[in-house]
Structure 1
């Protein structure tokens, strides 16, 4: 009996302790189970939101295509009168639509009898787009009957099903959804317009992005997307048992009665309805349902029981239980560590794949780009007229810009990782702005926009500054390109203002303004984010990735600045930023000292400019230009005013003598030349004012002006114009009379004794490099791979002064050939320069490690080629 109280004393506390531990563990397991369930539910919500977004976006795009086709003039003409020519025009238009949209399989017009009248389709196997003469009667198809029940010009979207041809399901299976629009107007042909949209790619994309445990069903409970593919499309493939209503009647009854689009769940299943939203009020997309089983991801009951038994032992043997708990915790941490390590390895592999892709893309683009840039460079050296020379220059500038874009693509991943570093160098702000203005004016095409450069008269544009010119160009070109793209009429203006000045530094505010479509307040808050544009319509109309402004903002943040915007819809936008530059020691002297003295004596005295323009912005900017040189600018807004001012200038001694007349015209036509003829007739003296014509597009002037037109003007300007452009053009008129003008001195190098071996397998790049080198009077020998280079150098080891070596070549690549030349042939003195499209930093290191002296990345120009030759010849 005495043992009984002792037993109770021991058993009761032991029981309480055991109960405490079991309770704690039990509630912990239940909490983990609940957390796991909540995690899965939230995951399903995100998956469903992603599914809804993808499907809606795809269906809205096809619906827009249907509306576009139905509103085409050729189709409306066909409805009014179904002639053969109208039908042929429609077939051609539909073929273009199929060519542009790979997922559209068929476009058909079915008349009221159910017979196809026009049918353009894509062959599933060959992908050939054809106009089918095999017209089928589709009257018995559900979607056709439903289409004829529509109201005139209403739109209907069918349920997802499989495409059938002549009543037989097409193989391989082709998931299809149809977009239908009815036409039934008095005096017009009645029928329905049908787009067969192949949703195979859509379902493949969903299969990739959506968790495989998420099942997608139609409104009848049949599976459209299931982990068990044998259940898909059951009602069409004679698998009527593959239906949620038969598999789980209670769950189906619950799902089928849902009226909202929220996510529902019980202990075993997450389910809900997806209502796809359309952009049109009178159309409706099919309703989708989804289910997700929670039981697959929850720990099995047997495992829980084993854990509880182990915990009972732990509660009895506290020490062992504690050690076991520590062990389990450490094991869980090890599992998480392994998961993290695996994820990190996957991320590294993805990063390596991305780097490899960028490197390959860079190489493939640089190789043909080198040919384009090289031939433009060589074209500039030919005898061309002024306009042809401008075309060649602009082509060369464009290829250089494209080369910069390729570099930007390579740097984009670094920009994301904040690894881009600024490359500061001395450059001329004036020359950069002039280049941007010239490049942007050539990109206007036929857009008749006024492109202006407005430069603060207080700025010393001759001053060199220290900064990253390439990145600054990239930002400004991006902003101006956007302004031109989003402005259909009006103006685009680049404005530079000096906001601060010290002995060593200068702060400049850059503004790019336009009179374009503008941006509302809500859109302004997100346009600097990646892949963002103002709205979907903007993306469709103007294109673009939405990365430009984000890259500009990232670059400016590296420069210690930021991009800001002010805008009003349908009025215009202004983007601006400020940068602080360190002054460089030298200034840009465009003219020799004696020439400068001569020009100053004749031009920097008081000049009177008569500016004839109807453009208010142009008047203000031209005032600023004249203010730079302390010249007086008089304005006229009509030909009569010009003639009156010129008459007073000639007859009235108190009136300022007009030295230059500038006629600014929005568009050049016959009336322009008539006005210039009247102005020219007013000037009777040989010492009369110069007459210049300013126009918006270079295409307004023929490459060679007619004789009578050349007599009427002394020159012309293509907008935009800078103070230096204007000054130097006027100065050139006096310099023609300055017979003793000294020639600008520059160093001349004699390359006529050089013999260069070019190792290059690409014929175009051979021609470019050979012509450039021969233009420098250099003897060139060409071989097509590294093996031929080795054989040539074995036979003539001391014949060549420099070797230009491509990296990627057949037979033997440039790296292997360089190692052979250095180590086996023991030719260590001859400079070997990589001339390659492999432009990554790692490629440059590989070349130097192999024994190369320098690296010249494609594309390159004649100046770059000359500089690298000089740099690698000690006696140059």
Structure 2
């Protein structure tokens, strides 16, 4: 709003849309009220001229001039609060002066002036100032009335007596001012109520629309999750067969040319699986359903495991791959989520290898601060790759985004890797840092505060489960496994795996049959698919846990699932199952889980 000039006399120039309805009403009251009082004063001047009351004439002229100055100040500075206080202060002084000196009595005009000041102060300045101005005007009048009733009031100055015509003009003018004040604020009050009603109705409509939008968004989110879960199951099921068969054929000593073809087939299927997993992981993060674990693990061992497979990829491209781990971290047991840390480092290293055609990839893990109970660890992945333009540094962390269309076409990928990394770190309150120059490479790094397990507590904790070697063939041959699986391709694949491992296996095509077979037979472990007809895997596991034969009721159960539901882990354990394995799975991973659970059962049974 531009400030009005000194020559302004317009009301529009001192009103603005930024002001509240109440403020605008107060400014209008001042503007029109002073105009009305000015007219009343002019009428009073005319009246006292004809009645030759020169003392009152001087007071009226002085009041008119003063009013004109205040009016000019209002239209120039638009400071309505200052103007209001000035008018009320002058009115109070004038009331005292008229009461105690000029007229020396309480008459109808005095009462009218007091009422005008009281009403005007409350409407214009609120309760606090209204009470103050009411008190300073009422108390002198009441004191004067009480004193004049009990004593003779005489100050040595002759009191003025108003002519009847002057009294009539003053009384009418005061009544007009009072009516104007009440009418003006009643109208403003009414308009304010109407405005509140309109705002309330609009707010109600907005709330209804917002509720509909929220409900629609929730349904859309639920539909998206269900769609992703369904698509995950439908995609993972054939992928399980493709990767599984590739692994089986690789175990059959193929010729060199066949082995190359199988490697390409397995690599392509694994890439497709990685894309599906990225989309599903991102959906979990966006829906806020990612839960971080707090378990003990060896950080050095974890980093070696993560980078072990990546070294091969780097060497295949002719890159120099180096993993450097601070000596302070050697043999340190820390507490955290090794799965999520592995996911973060894996994505960063995979990106570094993907976008580097010549030179090196370096992974550096250093201990920045070593305190008694925790360490501040810096994770860094540096490469000599293509680098990133400065204006693209923020964009690369957005989902489904890469630096440019050319980058996407040349290197492929979903553009979700860095988005997943960034969001996982943000959920832990950690910021990803990046330094990059086009053509010179990039470095990504972040810091994690990791609680340290003291050596004494780590040693004192008994290991109930013996470490299982994945290639323990003698143990596998003695096992009898029940597989509950309704998909014929998956059943055929499992049969071939178990045949290679010389494992005795029985198959049930639904959960109901699986429960009956557990009751009738003797099995070492159950591999339970979750989505089956007649009786699903969850309900089948619950029924098995309720069997009267405690040995059969406590049989280890591993869930096999291609689902992407975010709460699958909780549902598996709530149903009484011991562990779960996502399809498609690696043969060695299945073998290790089976042996671990079987050995765990033996330890508990013999205890």
- TM (normalized to structure 2)? 0.54
Take 1:581 and 1:851, find their aligned partners in 2: how far apart are those partners? 32
Superposed displacement of residue 760, structure 1: 0.8
**Which string of whole-angstrom CA distances, capped at 9 and with x for unpartnered residues, describes residues 353-409 of structure 1?**
122122223323433444456556667866799999999999999988976775554
Alignment counterpart, residue 868 of structure 1, candidates 582, 597, 601: 597
**Which string of whole-angstrom CA distances, capped at 9 and with x for unpartnered residues, describes residues 289-317 of structure 1?**
xxxxxxxxxxxxxxxxxxxxxxxxxxxxx
Give the 5 Å matches for 1:498-509: 498-502=367-371, 505-509=374-378
Task: State the match for 1:360 in structure 2.
Answer: 230
Superposed displacement of residue 352, structure 1: 0.6
Instruction: Structure 1 unaligned segments of length 5 or more: list them.
Output: 25-318, 588-743
Task: State the match for 1:78 in structure 2.
Answer: none
Task: State the match for 2:444 in structure 1.
Answer: 575
Take 2:308 and 2:183, find their aligned partners in 1: how far apart are those partners? 85
Take 2:187 and 2:192, find their aligned partners in 1: how far apart are those partners? 16
2:486 matched to 1:761?
A: yes
Take 1:356 and 1:468, find their aligned partners in 2: how far apart are those partners? 27
Alignment counterpart, residue 809 of structure 1, candidates 517, 532, 541: 532
Take 2:453 and 2:500, find their aligned partners in 1: how far apart are those partners? 34
Alignment counterpart, residue 548 of structure 1, candidates 417, 429, 433: 417
Take 2:342 and 2:355, find their aligned partners in 1: how far apart are those partners? 20
2:384 matched to 1:515?
A: yes
Take 1:750 and 1:481, find their aligned partners in 2: how far apart are those partners? 36
Take 1:394 and 1:434, find their aligned partners in 2: how far apart are those partners? 25
Task: State the match for 1:783 in structure 2.
Answer: 508
Alignment counterpart, residue 337 of structure 1, candidates 203, 207, 232: 207
Instruction: Structure 2 unaligned segments of length 5 or more: list them.
Output: 1-168, 457-468
Take 2:391 and 2:206, find their aligned partners in 1: how far apart are those partners? 42
Take 2:448 and 2:521, find their aligned partners in 1: how far apart are those partners? 53
Task: State the match for 2:320 in structure 1.
Answer: 451
Superposed displacement of residue 343, structure 1: 1.4
Give the 5 Å matches for 1:565-644: 565-584=434-453
Take 1:428 and 1:569, find their aligned partners in 2: how far apart are those partners? 36
Superposed displacement of residue 460, structure 1: 5.3
Instruction: Tell me the secondary structure at the aligned position of residue 534 of structure 1.
Output: coil
Superposed displacement of residue 341, structure 1: 1.5
Superposed displacement of residue 340, structure 1: 1.9
Aligned in 2, Cα 1:474/1:852: closer, same or farther, shift over 3 Å? closer
2:147 matched to 1:422?
A: no
**Which string of whole-angstrom CA distances, capped at 9 and with x for unpartnered residues, describes residues 662-692 of structure 1?**
xxxxxxxxxxxxxxxxxxxxxxxxxxxxxxx
2:221 matched to 1:351?
A: yes
Judge conservation of contact 1:422–1:558 (CA < 8 Å) in 2.
no
Take 1:488 and 1:745, find their aligned partners in 2: how far apart are those partners? 35
Take 1:561 and 1:454, find their aligned partners in 2: how far apart are those partners? 23
Superposed displacement of residue 499, structure 1: 3.5
Superposed displacement of residue 833, structure 1: 4.2
Take 1:375 and 1:578, find their aligned partners in 2: how far apart are those partners? 41
**Count of aligned positions:** 417
Aligned in 2, Cα 1:15/1:339: closer, same or farther, shift over 3 Å? farther
Judge conservation of contact 2:526–2:558 (CA < 8 Å) in 1.
yes
Take 1:756 and 1:583, find their aligned partners in 2: how far apart are those partners? 40
Judge conservation of contact 1:398–1:439 (CA < 8 Å) in 2.
no
Take 1:469 and 1:389, find their aligned partners in 2: how far apart are those partners? 33
Judge conservation of contact 2:383–2:441 (CA < 8 Å) in 1.
yes
**Which string of whole-angstrom CA distances, capped at 9 and with x for unpartnered residues, describes residues 556-600 of structure 1?**
33445432222222222222233344445679xxxxxxxxxxxxx
Task: State the match for 2:139 in structure 1.
Answer: none
Instruction: Tell me the secondary structure at the aligned position of residue 443 of structure 1.
Output: helix
- TM (normalized to structure 1)? 0.39
Alignment counterpart, residue 565 of structure 2, candidates 828, 840, 844: 840
Superposed displacement of residue 516, structure 1: 2.5
Take 2:353 and 2:238, find their aligned partners in 1: how far apart are those partners? 28
Superposed displacement of residue 761, structure 1: 1.9
Task: State the match for 2:347 in structure 1.
Answer: 478
2:293 matched to 1:412?
A: no
Take 2:182 and 2:320, find their aligned partners in 1: how far apart are those partners? 85
**Which string of whole-angstrom CA distances, capped at 9 and with x for unpartnered residues, describes residues 49-92 of structure 1?**
xxxxxxxxxxxxxxxxxxxxxxxxxxxxxxxxxxxxxxxxxxxx
Superposed displacement of residue 453, structure 1: 0.3
User: RCO greater where, 1 or 2, for CA within 8 Å and sep 6 or more?
Assistant: 2
If each structure's strand is expressed as a fraction of its own residues, which one has the higher value?
1
Give the 5 Å matches for 1:244-393: 330-371=200-241, 374=244
Instruction: Tell me the secondary structure at the aligned position of residue 421 of structure 1.
Output: coil
Take 1:536 and 1:754, find their aligned partners in 2: how far apart are those partners? 53
Take 1:432 and 1:390, find their aligned partners in 2: how far apart are those partners? 30
**Which string of whole-angstrom CA distances, capped at 9 and with x for unpartnered residues, describes residues 856-876 of structure 1?**
433443112322344456459
If each structure's helix is expressed as a fraction of its own residues, which one has the higher value?
2
Aligned in 2, Cα 1:833/1:573: closer, same or farther, shift over 3 Å? closer
Take 1:505 and 1:385, find their aligned partners in 2: how far apart are those partners? 52
Take 2:304 and 2:364, find their aligned partners in 1: how far apart are those partners? 12
Aligned in 2, Cα 1:391/1:553: closer, same or farther, shift over 3 Å? farther
Instruction: Tell me the secondary structure at the aligned position of residue 319 of structure 2.
Output: strand
Give the 5 Å matches for 1:785-800: 785-786=510-511, 788-789=513-514, 792=517, 797-800=520-523
Superposed displacement of residue 811, structure 1: 5.1
Judge conservation of contact 2:511–2:534 (CA < 8 Å) in 1.
yes
